[in-house]
């Protein structure tokens, strides 16, 4: 058995929101506020989408 030090990271789990953050809010328009296009994909964001989702998508696109 190795003598590597284990790192324990505490986390807090929050209950899921009942409504999906990917859904278009009822008072929003159907037109996207931002669209990114590439050779193989097209991503559209709408008003009301969670900022964390946008950040995650951009990070994933950068890290490819």
CA distance linking residue 41 with residue 59, whole number of Å: 15
Element (H, E) at 56: helix 51-63
Residue 20: pLDDT above 70?
Answer: no
Q: Residue ranges of the domains in the chain?
A: 1-64
When pLDDT is cut at 50, 70 and 90, the band that residue 18 belongs to is: low
Tell me the per-residue pLDDT of 28-56, one tens digit each, with 9 for 90 and over.
567 888 888 888 888 888 888 888 888 88
CA distance linking residue 54 with residue 38, whole number of Å: 16
57 alpha carbon, distance to own chain's centre = 5
Average pLDDT of the chain is 75
When pLDDT is cut at 50, 70 and 90, the band that residue 64 belongs to is: low
Contacts of residue 23, defined as CB under 8 A and 6 or more positions apart, other chains included, come to none
Q: What is the pTM of this model?
A: 0.46
At residue 35, the pLDDT reads: 87
Lookup: tokens for 40: 């193989």
């Amino acid at each position: 058995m190795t003598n590597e030090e284990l790192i324990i990271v505490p986390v807090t789990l929050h209950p899921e929101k009942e409504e999906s953050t990917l859904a278009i809010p009822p008072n929003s328009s159907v037109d996207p506020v931002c669209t990114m296009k590439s050779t193989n994909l097209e991503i559209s964001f709408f008003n009301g989408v969670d900022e964390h989702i946008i950040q995650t998508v951009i990070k994933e696109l950068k890290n490819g």
